[in-house]
Amino acid sequence: MDSSTIAAVATPEGTGGIGVIRVSGPDAITAVAAVFRRAPFGQKPSDSDTDASGGFKSWRMYLGHIFDPVSGTLIDEVILAVMRAPYSYTREDVVEIQAHGGSRVLEKILNLLISYGIRPAQPGEFTRRAFINGRVDLTQAEAVADLINARSDASLDMAVSQMTGQLSNVVSSIRQSLVSVLGSLEAAIDFPEAAGDEMDDAGQGLRLSIEVLQQINQLREAYESGRFLRQGVQAVIIGRPNVGKSSLMNCLLNQQRAIVTEIAGTTRDCIEAFLTTRGVSMVVADTAGLRRDPDPIERLGIEKTQEYMASADIVLHVLDVSLPLDDEDVAIYEQLMDKPVVIVINKTDLAGHEKVLHLSPAMEEAPCMAVSALHGTGIDELKQRIADMVFSSVASAGHGFIPNWRQKCLLDQAAEAVSKVIAGLENQRLPELVSIDLHEAISAIDEITGKYVETDVLDEIFSRYCVGK
Ligand code: GDP
Gap between the Cα atoms of 23 and 9, Å rounded: 9
Cβ of residue 245 lying under 6 Å from some atom of ligand 1: yes
* Ligand 1 pocket test, candidate residues 253, 374, 379, 382, most atoms within 8 A of CB: 374
Which residue of 236, 237, 238, 242 sits with most ligand 1 atoms within 8 Å of its CB, as the best mutation to test the pocket? 242
Q: Which of 258, 230, 277 lies closest to 405 in space, CA to CA?
A: 230
pLDDT score, position 364: 85
Nearest CA to ligand 1 atom 11: 242
Helix axes 405-426, 138-149, angle to 10 degrees: 140
pLDDT tens figures, 93-150:
999 999 999 889 999 999 999 999 999 999 999 999 999 999 999 999 999 888 888 7
Q: For 243-293, where are the E strands, in sequence order?
A: 261-262, 271-277, 280-286
Tell how far the Cα of 254 is from the centroid of ligand 1, in angstroms: 16
Q: Give residue 250 CA to ligand 1 midpoint distance, Å.
A: 11
Output DSSP code: residue 90: S
Pocket test of ligand 1: the residue of 247, 251, 290, 291 to mutate, having most ligand atoms within 8 Å of its CB, is 247
Q: Whose CA is nearest to atom 2 of ligand 1?
A: 242
Cβ-based neighbours of 28, under 8 Å, separated by 6 or more:
5, 7, 92, 93, 94, 95, 118
372 lines ligand 1 (CB under 6 A): yes
Task: Give the rounded distance of the alpha carbon of 274 from its chain centre.
Answer: 16
Could you give the domains of the chain?
A: 6-136 (3.30.1360.120), 144-228+402-462 (1.20.120.430), 230-396 (3.40.50.300)
Instruction: Tell how far the Cα of 343 is from the centroid of ligand 1, in angstroms.
Output: 16
Q: How far is the CA of 207 from the centre of ligand 1 (A)?
A: 61
pLDDT at 388: 81
- Whether 241 lines ligand 1, by a CB cut-off of 6 Å, is yes
CB atoms within 10 A of CB 157: 15
CA of 211 relative to ligand 1 center, distance in Å: 55
Cα distances (Å, whole numbers) of residue 325 to 2, 21, 351, 373: 68, 62, 14, 19
Task: Please tell me the predicted confidence (pLDDT) of residue 195.
Answer: 52
CA R_g for the chain? 30
Q: What is the Å distance from ligand 1's center to 248 Cα? A: 8
Burial level of 74, CB count in 10 A (0-12/13-18/19+)?
A: exposed
pLDDT given for residue 85 in this prediction: 95
> What is the structure's pLDDT at 206?
92
Q: Give residue 373 CA to ligand 1 midpoint distance, Å.
A: 7
Q: Cβ(242) to ligand 1 under 6 A?
A: yes
Collapse the DSSP code of 108 into the 3-class scheme (helix H, G, I; strand E, B; otherwise coil) and give the result: helix
> 269 CB under 6 A from ligand 1?
no
Neighbours of 410 (CB within 10 A): 21
Question: Residue-wise pLDDT tens for the chain (469 aa)?
Answer: 678 999 999 998 888 899 999 999 999 999 999 999 988 765 555 667 777 666 899 999 999 999 999 999 999 999 999 999 999 999 999 999 999 998 899 999 999 999 999 999 999 999 999 999 999 999 999 998 888 887 777 778 888 888 888 888 999 999 999 999 998 888 777 766 655 555 566 688 899 999 999 999 989 988 876 767 766 778 888 888 888 888 888 888 774 443 434 444 333 566 777 777 766 667 777 666 666 666 666 677 677 777 878 888 888 999 998 888 888 888 888 888 778 899 999 999 986 656 677 888 888 888 999 999 988 899 989 988 888 877 776 555 445 567 888 999 999 999 999 999 999 999 989 888 999 999 999 999 999 999 988 888 889 888 888 888 8
pLDDT of residue 413: 97
Please list the helix, strand and coil fractions of the chain in percent, rounded to the nearest 5, in that order: 50, 20, 30
Residue 262's pLDDT is 43
117 contacts 31 by C-beta, under 8 angstroms: yes
From ligand 1's centre to the CA of 334, what distance in Å? 23
